[in-house]
Chain A
Amino acid sequence: DIQMTQSPSSLSASVGDRVTITCRASQNINNFLNWYQHKPGKAPKLLISAATTLQSGVPSKFSGSGSGTDFTLTINSLQPEDFATYYCQQSYSTLYTFGQGTKLEIK
């Protein structure tokens, strides 16, 4: 199975900050990497597909980059509604796997 490792596991930041979350795959997954936002009690929300494609309706403050094994999610100008847990997920293998999540908390 392809293992996905996110760092950091948790992150404290202030409103207005820019943050970057990293996701590393255990093998080359080309650009088959997606990012989700998940808030407690809510359905997860797809933010970015294929490493860099911003989904319709998702603010441009979110951006993704990377290919191969190393990927990043960047969030600019944090707002209160951005504090959530973020997950990466690979689709290179049909045994789809998620990273362990990065919890973004307000400082």
Chain B
Amino acid sequence: EVHLVESGGGLVQPGGTLRLSCAASGFSFSSYSMNWVRQAPGKGLEWVSYISGGYSSIYYADSVKGRFTISRDNAKSSVYLQMNSLRAEDTAVYYCARGKSGLGISEYYFDYWGQGTLVTVSS
């Protein structure tokens, strides 16, 4: 059974840093891309970042580009999100989500999600 467990959330001051982790189990981790998706309080889902299984491709949403860094360790079946220069608007529940490609070249979806970890940016 696929399990994704996020950790590392908490309260941080504006301008501060935080590193989120997502531990995966139940599947061949290196064969799948991974993503971070967030939900701010009272708001909808927002995709944050993507990393391919072999580390070769990385994408970021414009809202976090230059401040957040996604990485993974296939030996540890884990994906990370290093968050720097945090702002109040980064306050959200951050979800780790496994990505899966379908038959079409652009067919791609998030088929398994973790329960999320809350990040609060406040002074």
A101 to B35, CA, bound (A): 19
Cβ of A107 < 8 Å from any Cβ of B?
no
Count chain B residues whose beta carbon lies closer than 8 angstroms to a beta carbon of A: 25
**Contact status A42-B62, CB under 8 Å:** no
A43 to B91, CA, bound (A): 18
A38 to B97, CA, bound (A): 14
Q: In A12-52, which residues have CB < 8 Å from any B CB?
A: 30-32, 34, 36, 38, 42-46, 49-50
Cβ of A1 < 8 Å from any Cβ of B?
yes
Tier of interface size on chain A: 20 to 34
A95 to B104, CA, bound (A): 17
A30 to B35, CA, bound (A): 23
Cβ of B114 < 8 Å from any Cβ of A?
yes
> Contacts A31-B104, A32-B107, A46-B110 known; A95 to B45 CB distance under 8 Å?
no
> Contacts A44-B95, A91-B107, A91-B109 known; A98 to B102 CB distance under 8 Å?
no
Cβ of B26 < 8 Å from any Cβ of A?
no
A3 to B106, CA, bound (A): 17
Return the chain A residue nearest B114 by Cβ: A43
Closest 5 CB pairs of A and B: A43-B113, A91-B108, A101-B44, A96-B47, A34-B109
Residues of B within 8 A of A (CB): 35, 37, 44-47, 50, 59, 61-62, 95, 97, 102-104, 106-111, 113-116
